[in-house]
Amino acid sequence: MLDRVTPATPSATPLAPPPGKAPEATPPRRIAHLDMDAFFASVELLRYPQLKGLPVVIGGGRRREDDVLARLRETYPDRAWSEATLDRVPVDFFPRLSGYTGRGVATTATYAARQFGVGSAMGLMKAARLCPQAILLPVDFDEVRRISRLFKSTITEIAPQMEDRGVDEVYIDFTHVPGGQREGGRVLARLIQKSILDATGLTCSIGVAPNKLIAKMASEFDKPNGISVLTEADVQTRIWPLSVRKINGIGPKAEARLAGFDIRTVGELAARERDWLVDHFGKSYGAWLNDAAWGRDERPVVTESEPVSMSRETTFERDLHAVRDKAELGTVFTRLCEQVAADLQRKGYVGKTIGIKLRYDDFKTATRDQTIGHFTADAKAIRQTAGQCLKRVPLTRRLRLLGVRVGNLVKADSEENRLSPPVSWSQSATTSGAGRRPDESEPELF
């Protein structure tokens, strides 16, 4: 029992509650994880409502509106087609996965396609074997980002303490929001669901729990358009029977190691002593495994976080060769640098570590980076330094992916950036021990 402490002076005495009114108790922590349902696919179904209920897979390339309209006008020349008439496109017009031979990857799939085993990050050739009748649609990143901003702004109008975790998911602190404690948070979750549906036409699933770890698992319990509310008392009955992979932070390698010790469920993980986990998985990760299995997580909902880096990358529809496809690669490379520069400028950041990422036709990946002596968000400077990085990787194999990254970021208006004087290219290269400034006598690789 805690000892009672008597204040030394009257001024240290806490204020007493008004007569007849008990002191207010601290409300229990209520954290929500919100996940949009099959987000990329759902965005496309807003455009093509005639595909609702059908197996649809999103992936394989970017949407090009002009190409779609051109094919429609060629196929159905007797009709007038525009972006406003896409809901009248016959279902038979859409391409099917059957016979797909490319190397694209599924971004997501509708729930009708998931019933056949199709999932995100799956190769489209495998998806075609599982569900050949599925309709294949490209990704419209611009529309996805627009609706992502819309649903997030809808949330913050109701519950302002929101942590952005990607294009289609967020954490929200319900604890002190009006209605956030009613029915364990279910009342507020229903309000947010309805508000998002009204604003975007899309559904989401929400898990509410004492912390972020359990909330994320709970949001998967009742998809789509579901709400699951869990308390500490539910950990043993609802969480322990789950596979350890359901814990965010346990990947395939950790799962395989745990299986080697006959640990496959969260409950079996919780049954192991903390010291045993530390001995076998290290001090930090072992202790975290024990906390996660028992549903312990004190991480706050972070409303603002500084990005570590910004990057852009693209996967080619066919493998490209550094020499024979030099012009095409050069155009793509320049565009990626310009896009990263635009991202930095729009968000008010500058960086001084510039890098590249290549994936070859054998799926091996190479990365190189170079730290220059000053911060920048200039597309030309990024292009020149990234070009130096290219000289340090083999380019004999064909390329299937190219990416550009800028790291070591600070705010453009920060003191660190203002006190960082520009330096010459030779000095910049010396910082990382890489090359010299390209000039007219030394052509760029692409």
Q: Annotated catalytic, 169?
A: yes
User: Which token pair is 93?
Assistant: 């017009």
CA dihedral sign of residues 94, 95, 97, 98: positive
Alpha-helical (H) ranges within 131-220 are 141-158, 186-200, 212-218
Q: Is the distance from CB of 317 to CB of 358 less than 8 angstroms?
A: no
Q: Buried (b) or exposed (e) across 296-319, using 16+ Cβ within 10 A?
A: ebeeebeeeeeeebbbbbeebeee
**Catalytic choice (74, 163, 169, 183):** 169
CA distance 212 to 132: 38
Q: Buried (b) or exposed (e) across 343-380, using 16+ Cβ within 10 A?
A: bbeeeebbbbbbbbbbbbeeeeebebbbbbbebbbebe
Helix axes 39-47, 141-158, angle to 10 degrees: 110
CA dihedral sign of residues 374, 386, 367, 346: positive
Residue 198 has φ and ψ, to the nearest 5°, of -65, -35
Cβ neighbours of 107 (radius 10 Å): 20
Q: Closest Cα to residue 217, out of 240, 201, 194, 193?
A: 240
Q: Looking at the annotation, which residues are catalytic?
A: 169
